[in-house]
Amino acid sequence: MKTPKRYLITAALPYANGLKHIGHLAGAYLPADIYVRYLKAQNREVVFVCGSDEHGTAIPIQATKEGTTAQAIIDKYHPIIEQNFKDLGIEFDIYHRTSDPLHHETASEFFKDLESRGDLETKTSEQYFDAQANTFLADRYIKGTCPNCGHDEAYGDQCEKCGKSLSPEELINPVSTLSGNAPIKKETTHWYLPLNRHEDFLRKWILEEHAQDWRPAVVGQCKSWIEGGLQPRAVTRDLDWGVKVPVAGGDGKVLYVWFDAPIGYISATKQWAINNDKDWKPFWNDPETKLVHFIGKDNIVFHCIIFPVMLKLHGNILPENVPANEFMNLEGDKMSTSRGWSIEMDDYINKWIKKENGGESLADCLRFYLNSIAPESKDSEFTWKGFQDAVNGELVSIFANYVNRTWVLMHKLTNGKVPKIHTELLDEEDQALLLSVKETKEKVTALLEQYKFREAQFEVVNLARLGNQYMQKKEPWILAKHIETDPTAQAKIDNCMHGCLQLSANLAILINPFLPFTAKKMCHLMKVVPKMLEWENAGNFNLLKVGYSLRAPELLFRKIEDEEIATELAQLNANAAAKKTKMENTTPANNGAEANAEKGIAPLKPEIVFDDFGKIDLRVGTIVEAKKVEKADKLLELLVDLGFEKRTILSGIAMHFNPEDIVGKQVTIVANLAPRKMRGIESKGMILMAEDANGKLYFVRPTEAIAAGSTIA
């Protein structure tokens, strides 16, 4: 493959509504950083961009929860996330943010460009508007009777039953799914990205051209989308937080966050160019630029389907690869910040790195372990025991120990200097060592080019292992005992130590992309400048000059003690338990919205008058039958006795209760809710459920069994 002229590497924009955990780190940022460091060691022209994604509805919602403004939320999290990355050695060339005016400008320009050339389905027309919800209705929010097959649950964009693509206007008797009312028509402009126009392009580009070099999960996911039939996707939204729609008719609308966020890669590149007095254009326009997106698997569709279509329409280059990682679990369960079951980067940094606890080397320990279990082909699992084993068993015992014993011996046996070589005494062991270094360099290079970072790192550690074996065979400490009797002893020692030192220099170069702080420290030990770490130097055995005196030995890593991981495990369980207690403690708080948010309490809805409440007819009912609805994961079909009648009611609780367990239970029913059909079954009423912040559901019911049909007020 021809070497690209330049590289543009992106890592998924973290959503700025909270702290990010080590699963995020392992999924996108660490692999991207390793790749970038490798490229930079080769003196390639590379720009590594990232930034905070600060738009979308979740930010204003988070603001309401915390009793503050959207701006305050992003201003709080953006700098923390940025600093966390720095502390862990994730070295972006630019960490930008989508709230920046430059981004707004860039996203606007992008939108206007597509719009002006008719690449968006720009329709100014009458559209359905829900007067009660005071919003225009996207196609999906309208249901009605299909003009094709008569199915009465057809969506505004497609009939599920006959599969026919529809527009809302075609539906007979349309109904808003928000309020249940018939929508009214109102003039508006909506913009869609017609993905359906680009099916052929995507099929050829991904399923043919990249079927082999992209990861199977990525191609598979794309295939699923493409063959499922692509639909136009709305690119605007009624919201006031985000990038304003920059064309006529765009008042009160912003770009949908998924449309604006990836453009953040472009605006970040622009900002980098401004900061460094460079030109950003070739990075997005020159086909000789290699663009790679590092993401997690939940982001595949945006980076492989939607954003490429946008780039193509806008005249930009397409990604060469999108190495998406799977997910990383933690101690047997999914990582979740809200459940307290996670390790935030911020926490790890504060505990392990900042204190006199090992400092930067502990950042490399985390990088090492995370990369050694990187979820490249399937979900993986972080355990503290695994962390300890990887650090103590490989980093300390193999890698750091090799360097340390080399340094100690060198000071004891060769006067703290790089000894000279006695060529006449070089044997096949010495040759083999040199050959191993060259081979390892080739392997590591090839693996990095294929985004196999886990295996690449293993090869580097393995080279240190070979170093230990070499030293063991040569036994310079034994030779030292025979200097009196063996005239060649010192020369043999010199040769051995020379080889060991040159190997150390090579190890520094090869480990640098993975463990940059360690490589730096090794340079310090060797008294060389960082320039020595350039990739082309690997494979050479003349990196350290003969006679050069080196520094005293220093340990690269410390061991992780049993008590430390026991503490972490206890902490993790305590965190999870604390979150759980907070969430279950639903006592109304009187100390402000922030406290409420911490307890996972939803904000209060607007006040209503008694008459509003009086419209709701609540009754006690008894579940007499319960069964799962076919072809629906969450729905249970219940038959509920209300005293005067038995009714069928559907409820989305199948994930939480077994049908047989809830028969006979009393529940609270909204008895006068308009009937609604779901999955072909009519539901006449609604079961009231309480939900805690973990999403766990509880029935709301009388404390003692009372007559079915009793009223509640």
> Which residues inside 452-471 make contact with RNA, applying CB under 7 A?
454-455, 465, 468-469, 471
Which range of residues in 58-66, 297-305, 420-428, 603-611 is near RNA by CB under 7 A? 297-305
Site string for RNA, 228-267 (x = CB under 7 A): x---------------------------------------
- Of 635-694, binders to RNA (CB under 7 A) are 635, 650-653, 673-674, 676, 678-679, 683, 686
Q: Does residue 57 belong to the site contacting RNA (CB under 7 A)?
A: no
**Residue type present at position 222:** C
Q: Does residue 370 belong to the site contacting RNA (CB under 7 A)?
A: no
Q: Does residue 404 belong to the site contacting RNA (CB under 7 A)?
A: yes
Identify the residue among 36, 41, 206, 400 touching RNA (CB under 7 A): 400
Q: Does residue 381 belong to the site contacting RNA (CB under 7 A)?
A: yes
Q: Does residue 393 belong to the site contacting RNA (CB under 7 A)?
A: yes
- The full DSSP string for 52-86 is EB--STHHHHHHHHHTS-HHHHHHHHHHHHHHHHH
d(CA 458, CA 242): 44
Whole-angstrom CA distances from 176 to 133, 253, 679 are 9, 20, 17
Residue 275: CB minimum distance to RNA, A: 34
| Residue closest to 51 by CA, chosen among 17, 114, 85, 97 | 97
Q: Answer for the pair 506, 463: CB distance below 8 angstroms, yes or no.
A: yes
Residue among 4 and 308 whose Cβ is closer to RNA: 308
Q: Does residue 325 belong to the site contacting RNA (CB under 7 A)?
A: no
Residue 373: CB minimum distance to RNA, A: 4
Site string for RNA, 131-160 (x = CB under 7 A): ---------x--------------x----x
Contacts of 356 (CB under 8 A, 6+ apart): none
d(CA 297, CA 284): 24
Q: Does residue 224 belong to the site contacting RNA (CB under 7 A)?
A: yes
Q: Does residue 557 belong to the site contacting RNA (CB under 7 A)?
A: yes
For residue 668, what are the β-bridge partners? Answer: 620
| Residue closest to 148 by CA, chosen among 136, 132, 166 | 166
Residue 649: CB minimum distance to RNA, A: 8
What is the 8-class DSSP label of residue 518?
H
d(CA 251, CA 484): 92
Q: How many residues bind RNA (CB under 7 A)?
A: 76
Would you state the structure tokens that stand for residue 626, as one six-digit string?
């319960």
Q: Does residue 375 belong to the site contacting RNA (CB under 7 A)?
A: yes
| Residue closest to 184 by CA, chosen among 126, 123, 251 | 126
Residue among 178 and 491 whose Cβ is closer to RNA: 178
Residue 175: CB minimum distance to RNA, A: 11
Which range of residues in 119-127, 268-276, 380-388, 520-528 is near RNA by CB under 7 A? 380-388
Would you state the structure tokens that stand for residue 660, as one six-digit string?
């047989």
Q: Does residue 520 belong to the site contacting RNA (CB under 7 A)?
A: no
Q: Does residue 501 belong to the site contacting RNA (CB under 7 A)?
A: no
Q: Answer for the pair 267, 102: CB distance below 8 angstroms, yes or no.
A: yes
d(CA 73, CA 80): 11
d(CA 235, CA 225): 18
d(CA 62, CA 74): 10
Q: Does residue 558 belong to the site contacting RNA (CB under 7 A)?
A: yes
Q: Does residue 161 belong to the site contacting RNA (CB under 7 A)?
A: no
Would you state the structure tokens that stand for residue 199, as one six-digit string?
């099916």
Cβ atoms within 10 Å, residue 262: 24
- Of 576-605, binders to RNA (CB under 7 A) are none
Residue among 246 and 652 whose Cβ is closer to RNA: 652
- Residue labelled with tokens 């270094």: 437
Task: Give the count of alpha carbons within 13 A of 645, CB side only.
Answer: 7
Distance from the Cα of residue 147 to its chain's centroid? 42
- Of 612-631, binders to RNA (CB under 7 A) are 630-631
Residue 676: CB minimum distance to RNA, A: 3
Identify the residue among 401, 488, 537, 710 touching RNA (CB under 7 A): 401
Q: Does residue 571 belong to the site contacting RNA (CB under 7 A)?
A: no
Which range of residues in 293-301, 341-349, 506-514, 581-589 is near RNA by CB under 7 A? 293-301
Q: Where are the alpha helices (DSSP H) in 286-418?
A: 300-301, 307-314, 345-348, 360-372, 384-390, 401-413
- Of 163-192, binders to RNA (CB under 7 A) are 178, 180
Identify the residue among 2, 378, 531, 545 touching RNA (CB under 7 A): 378
